Structure 1
Amino acid sequence: MIIKSIDTGPFKLDGGAMFGVVPKSIWQRTNPADERNLCDWALRNLLVEATDANGRSRLLLVDTGAGDKQDAKFFSYYDLPNGKTLTSAVEQAGYSINDVTDVLLTHLHFDHAGGAVRYADSSHTKLEATFPQATYWSHSGQWEWATAPNPRERATYLKENFMPLHENDQLRFIDRDGLDIPGIDLLYMDGHTEKMTLPMFQVGTSQPRTAVFCADLIPSAAHIPIPYVMGYDVRPLVTMDEKTSFLNRAVDENWLLIFDHDPTCEAATVERTEKGIRIKERGALAEWL
């Protein structure tokens, strides 16, 4: 199995929203804000080369960034566009959009699912799947949550990012149909949003280890402390419980954590300290794999 990190960031989000009840005087030490209280973040995705149970080669893309379909007013809140595109990032990694066989959407918020669908032409009247040969995967519980959004998440569930996949019969539910790729397991989290999916990869041969894409359970290395929970989370106390269980397992099993939004740290390991679980080592994903 080969895993590559691709980045379609940077973009910006409000520092207070990203750190919830943690005071700005603390979080700005690691994530300084600009005059609008916005911090820099990444839009990090993964490309995974694997072989399925039938011996077929699969190229899995995990998440798709924000895409480029929204209008200038919407994107101005996040300092987008940033000059990067998902398709160019895939090509720079050595693949074409037709090589992608599967797209796993950890959840359907705009900054994770926005690149799943694109305009078919310059007239901006027709939408199509960005990866025409791919099967797209979501959890059925997340799908139900996104298609009938609560008031808290309504602004981030944009139906143009995922309804065309359903209408074109390219969407499957991972809890019903199964990804069927040996070496890839899934964890489901309900604190940030309903049934967010975290893929776990078994990597290495001589010394195999587990690498986990943390999605928005732990969006950056700065969010490792248990109380550092985003204001975006619909069930913050559930997030804290999920993080506690997740991080204890990460220490015990020496997991490699991959961060989707950290602007500088792609991956890290963790350890127990007197202050709780903290970063042990950090670096680029390629250094670990």
Structure 2
Amino acid sequence: MPALRSALKKWLALRKHRVRRSFYGRIPMSSVETLARCAWRTRSIYDATCRASGRVRSEIGRDVLNLPQARARRACVGAYIEKLIDQRIYFGRDIRKHEAWPDLEQIARTLTAEVEKLRREAPGRPVFISPFHFVSQYANIYIVERVAALLGLQSMSVVSGVPRNQYGDDHALIPGIKVLYTYGDTNRNGLGVRVARSLKRDGVAVLFSDVPPFTMHRYPMETVEVSMFGKSARIHNGVFRVGETFGAVLLPFYLRFSRGHFEARLFDALPLDAAESPQRLAGYIETALLDNYEQWLPAGHPAMYAFAPSK
């Protein structure tokens, strides 16, 4: 009987995965926001955690960032929009093996042109492409994978703390991305060495420089003091230490998503060895939050950038 129960559980899990894959992999992007609103409103009726999480996201936008009430309310469904887009991109590729997104392709071409411009202006100076945590992790990964292809690289190294294989085998489906770090990585202390090797080999790597320190409370990292929203704040210092060592520049950008279409805002490149760069990066993060807090992935924690587990 135990063997039969185990086999039945595996069969049911497989059927559930196939149904989920078939459904989410075919959702029209134009329907994502509507479906996300319906999903949150329905679940918040009976799920107190879902209801509270949405309200906290909304209240932080209203009370901390002073956003208009209509924008603050839209923050309630940000996590649902992220999950729908992630699954649509992931399962869509799994079903069709290759799927092009024109909006994301154009963003990738724009980033590639900017990287090539920076290389012409300062040959040999490495570039960190830095997506901020907005809209969807898989949308950001799609973009940097396309940038790698346009630059003629076989793979792109990405420093990330996002858990792997949330929907399936990431490496099999996204072979052009080499993740250098995830939570629970046993070789976490060697992260700097691996980043250095990637920069020397490819001249470009990807790093999410806007990650709030509170998200790393299990693995505290060095931070640097800056000013955000008129108050003292802290952001991670690792990118500046590595960047100073190699004379690297940071190319930050963030995504927006509306009515089924993606767009991106690129910031001016930052020389990471400049003394004013931490504060300039903090200013970029603040600008992005004021513009698109509703779709900021770490939204919902009252600390934001005001708390760091390690200085």
What's the TM-score bracket when you normalise by the shorter of the two chains? Answer: 0.3 to 0.5
Give TM-score, length-normalised by structure 1.
0.33
Higher share in strand:
1
Higher share in helix:
2
